Amino acid sequence: MKVTINQEGNKYSVTLEGRVDTTNADQFQKDVAVLMEASQPDIEIDCSAMEYTSSQGLRIFLQLQKNVTAHQGNLVLTRMQPHVKEVFDITGFSNIIKIM
Amino acid sequence: MRYNRSFSARLTSAILFNTSILFLAAITVVSFFSHRLIGEEAQNSAANALRSTKLDIEQTLREVEVATGELQWVILEHRDDTAMMYHITRELLESRPNIVGSAIAFRSEYHAGKHFFSPYSYRKSQSDEILSKQLGTPQYDYFQMEWYTAPMKSGKPHWSEPYFDEGGGEQLMTTYSVPLKDEKGETFAILTADINLEWLSEKILATKPYTNSYTILIGKSGHYISHQDPKKILNDNLFSEAKRSDNKNLAGLAHKMVAQETGVEKFRLNGDIVFAVYGPVGDAWSAAIISPYKDVFAPMMRMNLIIILVAAFGLFFLFAACVRTIRKLTQPITEFSVVALNMAKGNFKARLPEVKTQDEIRKLHDSFEYMQKSITSYITELKSTTIQNERFESELNIARKIQMGMVPQDFPERPDCHLSALLRPAREVGGDLYDFVFRGDFLYFAVGDVSGKGVPAALFMAMTRSAFRFLAARETPPDNLTALINQAISDGNENNMFVTLFIGKINLKTRHFEYCNAGHNPIIIISSDGTSEFLHAKSNIAAGIISGFNYQAEEMDLAPHSRLLIYTDGVTEAEDNSKAQFGDERLLDFTRAITPDEKPQEIVNQLYTKIKEFTGDAVQNDDITIFSIELDS
């Protein structure tokens, strides 16, 4: 798993590569901590290279969404691969996180 | 293991060995050069002694020549005054103590009527008294003597070969004869001066640079004029001595000496290596100083012996000092090794040897001390960690038992419905759950999967399961049931935990099936004709996320003998070592292979076996729950 964050003002371009699973969920949480704190962030996470997420990964996405909402920001996940999108759909996460 | 050679012994041997080599080399080099130097010095000093002796002798002889030369004119002037002739010889003796006799031997009839006119003065033996007489007599016909004939014939002065004076106490003599010439150049008489050569012998024998060296003086034909053995004087000859002892080197020396050469010869003589420094003395003689080398080098040998003794003593002292010092220095190492052994046996408090120096041993001591402290603290920490871990483990084991007790392990035998389920947490405790409740003709069931694993997930699971059990006791439709569970677990969910849930309600009489899927995997319905497919329910959101979410249920009628397979994503996302997932297709293939007579228990176990076969020895990364229901008429 690799997280790359490019910040320009309150605009965050994030790329997420690889798998988010039990072994690296904590690392993922640390990597996106800066996004949780940001004020009125406009976050776009490129998920084209994301291969898998476990429920821990989902939890962090949920946490991120809640924080972004609390900070009056915006979060979009883009270019998600179908089999990953399926997980978001099944769990109902696509109802609360914007996926484009 | 036995330690045969101590460190100190090895180090000492090495030091001694190298020092000895160094000593030997130094002694050898010094010996070599001093040997050469002393050899050269000996030759020089012998040559000097020889030169000095030669000059002494030649000066004495020259004095005689000068003294006689001075008299020639006096004699010529008064040659007819016979009394004067006696006077002259007497005066010569008086003025020259080393002349023991002098004669003026006139030709026959030079003075008319005097056939043997030869005035002669000589010293009376053993006294200073000078006597005079007529030398020539019919018994002593000097006209036949060499001392007379040789200068008479050649017209030049003549030194006789040394001889023993038969009348004068067997003393070694030589005679210097000078021809006296008149105005016409004709020799009319011979002036002689007899010289005692005893002083010569003394001088020669005194020339003795080394204890066992000796000097010889030889004449024209090689006979000894001076020798340490007086019997050899005039009676022996260097040539014949060389011949007798068959010594070619000695013969060579004799030849060179007779040829009046100067030089140094080195050769073996009577078993000793000797060197002879030789050179001419006067016009006809030659002297040689013969010195054995053992004398020359004796002081050096003595010196060498002293040096070797001193070196040996020094080495012994060095040995003792080395042994003592190294023992003292390495003593702590020996003690440290004992401590190390003790530590290896578990005694980490073994007392360290005291070190007073500030060197490597000190460092070793400090390292040991540090090691002792850190090992001790590590062990203490390890002990407490182990105790803590054991406590955790035992607590977890208890928690596991409690958790397993929370999911039903007994599946009631009913004519209208068969059930079986299996839950395998990835760790001691997990976040998966299943539960069911029979109420009248209704079967309520739930399968859930809490996000994450371990203790946090287990607590959330317990909460969820309790909520289900409590709420399922009232015949609530699945959507309400889900909403209420969601409400119960959403409150105070600071960590954003969530649980995917599948809640079902089956009327066992009518086989009417109501269900609500809260973000859970689609269940599989296996029909009695062998077909099986996913039930793609409306996707609500997982429970615990949004308080007050409006969950929606769906319903359908199940065919007789339908079988349901509900599971968590631990099944489809089970991974092998290459991270490949078990997946929906394998799951569906498995269900399609199920025969109609297979009971839920068999289905559950077979699927679990199938998953294990797939994952092999890969570590289980998520909790696995399999729940199967079969409806019977």
Nearest chain B residue to A51, by CA: B579
Q: Give the residue from A95, A35, A81, A84 showing the smallest Cα distance to A57.
A: A84
Give yes or no for a contact between B435 and B404, defined as CB atoms under 8 angstroms apart. no
Q: How confident is the model at residue B329 (pLDDT cuts 50, 70, 90)?
A: confident
Collapsing DSSP to helix, strand or coil, B237 comes out as: strand
To which residue do tokens 């498995």 refer?
Answer: B590
Collapsing DSSP to helix, strand or coil, B303 comes out as: helix
Angstrom distance (rounded) from CA B103 to CA B119: 6
Collapsing DSSP to helix, strand or coil, B136 comes out as: coil
How close, in Å, is residue A66 to chain B by CA atoms? 9
Q: How confident is the model at residue A90 (pLDDT cuts 50, 70, 90)?
A: confident
Considering only the C-alpha atoms of chain B, give the largest distance between any 2 of them, rounded to a whole number of Å: 205
Q: Give the residue from B431, B433, B490 showing the smallest Cα distance to B456.
A: B431
B-chain residues near A19 (CB < 8 A): 579
The residues spanned by each domain of chain B are: 414-631
**Predicted local confidence at residue B633, as pLDDT:** 66
- Cβ distance A62 to B498 less than 8 Å, yes or no, reads yes
Residue scoring higher pLDDT (B2 or B418) = B418
Q: Determine what percent of chain B is predicted with pLDDT higher than 70.
A: 98
Whether the pLDDT of residue B435 is over 90: the answer is: yes
The residue type of B165 is D
B-chain residues near A55 (CB < 8 A): 449-452, 498, 500, 569
Collapsing DSSP to helix, strand or coil, B278 comes out as: strand
Whether the pLDDT of residue A83 is over 70: the answer is: yes
Q: How many CB atoms neighbour CB B506 within 10 A?
A: 24
Collapsing DSSP to helix, strand or coil, B285 comes out as: strand
- Distances in whole angstroms, Cα of residue B37 to Cα of each of B42, B275, B297: 8, 15, 11
**Domain A2-99 listed as CATH 3.30.750.24:** yes
Dihedral (C-alpha) B354, B356, B357, B362: value to the nearest 10 degrees?
Answer: 40
How close, in Å, is residue A70 to chain B by CA atoms? 14
Q: Give the residue from B431, B448, B500, B436 showing the smallest Cα distance to B472.
A: B436
Identify which of B452, B497, B541 has the shortest CB distance to residue A92: B541
B-chain residues near A63 (CB < 8 A): 496
Burial label, A87 (beta-carbon count in 10 A; 0-12, 13-18, 19+): buried
The residue-averaged pLDDT of B214-233 equals 86
Angstrom distance (rounded) from CA B454 to CA A41: 33
Which among A90, A94, A97 is the top mutation candidate for probing chain B, defined by the most B β-carbons within 10 Å of its own β-carbon? A90
Whether the pLDDT of residue B1 is over 50: the answer is: no
Whether the pLDDT of residue B8 is over 60: the answer is: yes
Give yes or no for a contact between A16 and A46, defined as CB atoms under 8 angstroms apart. yes
**Predicted local confidence at residue A6, as pLDDT:** 93
Angstrom distance (rounded) from CA B503 to CA B149: 170
Alpha helices by DSSP H, B219-292: 238-244, 248-258
- Cβ distance B519 to A91 less than 8 Å, yes or no, reads yes
Identify which of A19, A90, A96 has the shortest CB distance to residue B521: A90
Residues of B with CB under 8 A from a CB of A: 426, 449-453, 495-498, 500, 518-522, 539-542, 545-546, 569, 573, 579, 621-622
- Cβ distance B519 to A90 less than 8 Å, yes or no, reads yes
**Predicted local confidence at residue B193, as pLDDT:** 92
Angstrom distance (rounded) from CA B549 to CA B499: 14
Q: How confident is the model at residue B437 (pLDDT cuts 50, 70, 90)?
A: very high
**Predicted local confidence at residue B585, as pLDDT:** 93
Residues of A with CB under 8 A from a CB of B: 19, 21-22, 25, 52, 54-56, 58-59, 62-63, 66, 89-96
Range in B201-205, B482-486, B591-595 the model is least confident about: B201-205
Q: Which residues contact B8 (CB under 8 A, 6 or more apart)?
A: B322, B323, B326, B327, B330
Angstrom distance (rounded) from CA A20 to CA B319: 73
Q: In what order do the strands lie in the sheet with B224-226?
A: B224-226, B214-218, B285-292, B272-281, B263-269
How close, in Å, is residue B356 to chain A by CA atoms? 52
DSSP one-letter string for B560-576: TT-EEEEE-HHHHT-B-
- Residue B295: enclosing H or E segment and its boundaries? helix B293-344
The residue-averaged pLDDT of B46-73 equals 87
B443's tokens: 């079967």
Q: How confident is the model at residue B3 (pLDDT cuts 50, 70, 90)?
A: low
Angstrom distance (rounded) from CA B86 to CA B119: 5
Dihedral (C-alpha) B465, B471, B477, B478: value to the nearest 10 degrees?
Answer: -10
How close, in Å, is residue B522 to chain A by CA atoms? 8
Rg (CA), chain B: 70
Whether the pLDDT of residue B517 is over 90: the answer is: yes
Q: How confident is the model at residue B10 (pLDDT cuts 50, 70, 90)?
A: confident
Residue scoring higher pLDDT (B461 or B113) = B461
Q: Determine what percent of chain B is predicted with pLDDT higher than 90.
A: 37
The residue type of B406 is M
To which residue do tokens 């005679």 refer?
Answer: B175
B177's tokens: 């004869």
**Predicted local confidence at residue B170, as pLDDT:** 67
Angstrom distance (rounded) from CA B491 to CA B496: 10
- Cβ distance B542 to A93 less than 8 Å, yes or no, reads yes
Identify which of B449, B520, B621 has the shortest CB distance to residue A21: B621
**Predicted local confidence at residue B137, as pLDDT:** 86
The residue-averaged pLDDT of B476-503 equals 92
B266's tokens: 């080195």
B403's tokens: 């958790």
Give yes or no for a contact between B497 and A55, defined as CB atoms under 8 angstroms apart. no
CATH of domain B414-631: 3.60.40.10
A-chain residues near B621 (CB < 8 A): 21-22, 54
Which among B498, B572, B582, B585 is the top mutation candidate for probing chain A, defined by the most A β-carbons within 10 Å of its own β-carbon? B498
Whether the pLDDT of residue B624 is over 70: the answer is: yes
The residues spanned by each domain of chain A are: 2-99
- Distances in whole angstroms, Cα of residue B608 to Cα of each of B409, B570, B576: 16, 11, 14
Give yes or no for a contact between A92 and B542, defined as CB atoms under 8 angstroms apart. yes
Q: How confident is the model at residue B168 (pLDDT cuts 50, 70, 90)?
A: low
Q: Give the residue from B159, B190, B163 showing the smallest Cα distance to B58.
A: B159
- To the nearest whole number, what is the mean pLDDT of chain B? 88
Q: How confident is the model at residue B340 (pLDDT cuts 50, 70, 90)?
A: confident
pTM for the structure as a whole: 0.55
- φ/ψ region of B223 (left if φ > 0, alpha if ψ in -120 to 50, else beta) reads beta
Whether the pLDDT of residue B321 is over 70: the answer is: yes
**Predicted local confidence at residue B38, as pLDDT:** 87
Q: What is the pLDDT of residues B273-301, one digit of tens each?
A: 898 889 888 878 898 988 888 888 888 88
Give yes or no for a contact between B430 and B403, defined as CB atoms under 8 angstroms apart. yes
